[in-house]
Chain A
Amino acid sequence: MILTRVAPTLERREGDLGTAAAGEAGERFLRLANGELDRAYRLAGLLLGDEHEAQDATQDALIRAWQSIGSLRDPAGFQSWFDRILVNLCRDRLRRRRRITFVPIETEDDGGGHRPATPKATDPFRVVLDRDEAVRAMAGLNPDERIVLILHYWADLTLDAVADRLGWPAGTVKTRLHHGLDQIRRTLASHPDEGIR
Chain B
Amino acid sequence: MNDNLEERLRDELRRGALPAAPDALHDRLSRLPAESHGSRFGGLLGGLRLAALASAAAVAIAFVLVVRSLPGPSAAGPSASLGSVATTRPSALPTLGPTSGPTSGPSVEPSSRPSPSIAANCTPSFVLPATTSSVTPITDVRVGAHPGYDRIVFEFAGSGRPQLTVEQKLGPFVADASGQTIKVAGNAFLSLKLFDASGYPTYTGPGAFSPGYPNLVALVNAGDYEGYVTWIAGLRDINSICYSVSTLTGPTRIVIDIVDPGPNPS
Contacts and interface: CB of A to CB of B under 8 A. Distances in A.
Interface of A: 1-3, 5-7, 9-10, 13-14, 16-18, 21-22, 25-27, 29-30, 33-34, 37-38, 40-42, 45-46, 51, 55, 58-60, 62-64, 66-68, 70-71, 73, 84-85, 88, 91, 95, 124-125, 127-128, 131-132, 134-135, 138, 143-144, 149-150, 153-154, 156, 166-168, 172, 181, 184-185, 188, 196-197
Contacts of B134: 70
B129 A9 contact: yes
B133 A154 contact: no
28 contacts: A2-B82, A2-B246, A3-B68, A6-B60, A6-B128, A14-B53, A25-B33, A30-B29, A34-B26, A37-B26, A42-B19, A45-B19, A46-B13, A46-B18, A58-B21, A62-B28, A62-B29, A62-B32, A68-B196, A71-B135, A71-B226, A128-B15, A128-B16, A153-B6, A154-B13, A168-B177, A188-B5, A196-B4
A95 B179 contact: yes
B69 interface: no
Nearest to A149: B9
A5 B5 contact: no
B34 A21 contact: yes
A88 B227 CA distance: 14
Contact of B33 (A6, A21, A71, A149): A21
The 9 tightest CB contacts between A and B, nearest first, are A26-B33, A17-B37, A41-B21, A6-B60, A71-B227, A2-B81, A132-B12, A154-B13, A42-B18
Given A6-B128, A34-B29, A149-B9, 14 more contacts: A1-B75, A1-B81, A41-B22, A42-B18, A60-B45, A62-B28, A64-B45, A67-B41, A67-B49, A68-B227, A128-B16, A153-B6, A185-B5, A188-B5
Specify which of B25, B83, B225 lies most central, judged by the most chain A CB atoms within 10 Å of its CB.
Answer: B25
Nearest to B22: A55
Specify which of B8, B46, B128 lies most central, judged by the most chain A CB atoms within 10 Å of its CB.
Answer: B8
Interface of B: 1, 3-6, 8-10, 12-16, 18-22, 24-26, 28-30, 32-37, 40-43, 45-46, 49, 53, 56-57, 60-61, 63-64, 67-68, 74-75, 81-83, 128-131, 133-135, 176-179, 195-196, 225-227, 246-247
Contacts of A71: 135, 196, 226-227
B13 A21 contact: no
B159 to A, nearest CB: 13
Specify which of A2, A172, A188 lies most central, judged by the most chain B CB atoms within 10 Å of its CB.
Answer: A2
Contacts of A124: 18-19
A40 B21 CA distance: 8
Given A30-B33, A34-B26, A37-B29, A184 B5 contact: yes
Given A51-B19, A66-B33, A68-B227, A37 B25 contact: yes
B138 to A, nearest CB: 14
A42 to B, nearest CB: 4
Contacts of A5: 81
B69 to A, nearest CB: 12
Specify which of B22, B35, B195 lies most central, judged by the most chain A CB atoms within 10 Å of its CB.
Answer: B22
A29 B32 contact: yes
A188 B12 CA distance: 15
Nearest to B37: A17
Contact of B8 (A1, A27, A95, A134): A134
A66 B32 contact: yes
A20 B58 CA distance: 25
Contacts of B13: 46, 128, 135, 150, 153-154
Contacts of A7: 57, 60-61, 64
B30 A30 contact: yes
Contacts of B64: 3, 6-7
A149 B12 CA distance: 12
B7 to A, nearest CB: 9
A184 B57 CA distance: 53
A71 B25 CA distance: 23
A144 B20 CA distance: 25
